[in-house]
Amino acid sequence: HIEGPGSGIQNIASQLGLPNPFNAAQPPPIVDIGLPNFNYECGCFLNIARAKVWDWHENLTKTIGRHTLQFGGTLQYEHDYTLPDQQYTSGYEDFGTLATSLYDASSGTAYAPVPNTGSEAANFYLGVASYLAYANRQAYLNYVSEKALYFQDNFRVNPRLTLNLGVRWEYNSPANLSDKSLTGFDYNTHAVVLQTSIDNLVRLGDVVPQIAADYAALGVKYETPAQAGVPANLVHPNYHDFSPRLGFAYRLTEGQHYSVLRGGYGRYYYPDSLRLWNGDNQFSVPVSGTLQNDPNLGGVLSPDGNLNYLLRSVPTIIAGQNSQNAISLDQAVGIAPGKGYVAWLDPHSPSSHADMWNLTYEKEIATSTALSLKYVGTHGANMPQYYSINDAPSDFAWMVNTGQAPIPGYLEQPYDQVLGQVQQYRKTGWSNDNSFQVELQHQYSKAYAFQVFYVFSNAFRAAGDGWRADYVWSPNVFLPGMLPSDYQKADRYLNYQRDTSIPKHSVKWNWVGDLPFGRGKRFGGNAHGFLNALIGGWQFAGDGAWYSRYFNLPTGNYGDFNGVQVYDKKNSVLDCRSGQCVGGSLWWNGYIAANKVNQSPDGVYGLP
């Protein structure tokens, strides 16, 4: 699987004469060129996933009287090459540089431009840009294995009843990078755990020396897996995953239109998606960082230390002419207290699994036609999610919680003031689903067949989507009493909700029927040879689906108020919010800020 722009082999930035310190093979974004429809910024990043898998399966059956014994095993070895999203590795060129604007001498130390002067298109024409590139780690070279053994006894108790009694042992190895480049974290010592040395990570291309040095100067600590008390691959294995498999089938009635009752229960272990955890781990200290050349930001990036340098100077770097070395590996920026991100795997992660149970009643209601009623229950456990333990609260939450005026954000972080966000990938999520299914099926006979399913599903979950959703936040970012102090209760409060990706109601159907043409059919029943081959054997088939869906209003725009009310043209209002009063009609009761309701001088007047 290869996803993202470019061919994966062309160094497009270098061909354009633009900086590309990592020699990345994807087109660099080029933005703010004054022509909105011609910017290049797709927001898509090169990522690659390749796998080599070796599988061995052995399934054996032995019949002894009324017992049919099934047993066997699975052995699987997998080598994964996973290159995570290479975000802006090939550079990012921005022509919104004020280079053609006029300097406002009266702006003092703000060094601001004269309003309505300058053109981004002119900046682009002259080639005056700012430059940026992100440091991304290289591929995860993951080596995992799966081993399983199973035994099942299908016991025919009598002609009506059959029991299925089985057990399965399964082992899914945790993440294991062959180049020892995985980063972890020690909660007790606040130290980043490295499988190998910084020098070796530099050699592998996962770490930029300047970025690592800046983190070290900031006070970031490193330690080995042994010092952290974890295995060499940073995660403890789970060797005791046993899962029962139980089932029965009982013939309730005999005769032409018999009925059957079936049921079962099983536990199913499964390995996690690599994408769910490496999507955040790839940005962890000391791997991720930013290289930048933008004199307008002032400070160390500006020759005179002041803002908007390109507004006040003659450009020395022209894009495409002498810009290829505009960024170097020693131009790391943004490494400061509260900025370094850490995402790490919980060393004691249990295996994710699902418990499933079902009960089915099936009856033949006509020849070759059966009606079945089924209940299926599912409970997922040990599903992955992130626990964020070091977020700074909003100024309002800080003032209410502490009674103090706001201070720099990193000093408000509850766990560590050197690092920024610290998030643990842990197996604490769960899901539940109760489904009911009605199926009507006619097996192929009398020249037609069909199936119709109706499924009613109540699916809820907390977690299971990795970095995309289902975070648990520390209580300090909430007002007092809003979030339970107990982790599980907080997780339920924040995340347990209906899974809107699974329809509550769905109907599916399919059918096939013979057309009445050809030998033995209503039309052309006596056809032979070529004529029969031409007109006979045709079938008419189809399928379809209907399902319900959910539409949630965005909570940023709408609240749980009194519902939508349309006024049409009954209420004349005067809207002065723009500084100029405009008359009109209030179409509906959309949100208008309370300090604008019938308030002078810039409010909305005439509201009901």
Is the model's pLDDT at 487 over the cut of 60? yes
Q: Which two tokens stand for residue 135?
A: 């440091």
Average pLDDT over residues 518-534: 87
DSSP three-state, residue 184: strand
pLDDT at 21 over 80: yes
Assess whether pLDDT exceeds 90 at residue 394. Answer: yes
Complete DSSP assignment for 563-599: ---B-TTS-EEEE-TTSS-EEEE--B-----GGGBT-
Helix (H, G, I), strand (E, B) or coil at 152: strand
- For 230-263, write each residue's pLDDT tens digit: 999 999 999 999 999 999 999 999 888 889 999 9
Kindly state the tokens that stand for 561: 């108020």
Report the candidate in 499, 376, 354, 512 with the shortest Cα–Cα distance to residue 438. 376
Name the amino acid, one letter, at 202. Answer: V
pLDDT digits (tens, 9 = 90+) for 581-604: 889 888 877 768 888 888 878 888
- Give the pLDDT mean for 603-607: 87
User: Are residues 361 and 389 in contact, defined by beta-carbon separation less than 8 angstroms?
Assistant: no
Radius of gyration of the chain (CA): 33
Share of the chain above pLDDT 90, in %: 74
Residue-level pLDDT at 560: 53
Q: Is the pLDDT of residue 564 over 80?
A: no
**Which DSSP category does 108 fall into?**
G
pLDDT at 158: 96
Task: Encode pLDDT of 146-191 as tens digits.
Answer: 999 999 999 999 999 999 999 999 999 998 999 999 999 999 999 9
Model-level pTM? Answer: 0.81
In this structure, the chain runs to a length of 608
- One-letter amino acid identity for 43? G
Measured in Å, how far apart are the chain's first and last C-alpha atoms?
58
**What pLDDT is recorded for position 6?**
56
Task: Tell me what pLDDT residue 39 has.
Answer: 85
Using pLDDT thresholds of 50, 70 and 90, give the confidence band for residue 608.
confident
Tens of pLDDT, residue by residue over 538-558, are 999 999 999 998 766 555 555
Q: pLDDT grade, residue 532 (50/70/90)?
A: confident
| Per-residue confidence (pLDDT) for residue 8, from 0 to 100 | 58
Write down the pLDDT at residue 5: 60
Mean confidence (pLDDT) of the chain: 91
Q: Given the DSSP bridges, would you call strands 448-462 and 505-514 parallel, antiparallel or unpaired?
A: antiparallel
Looking at residue 529, its pLDDT comes to: 87
Can you give the pLDDT at residue 561? 55
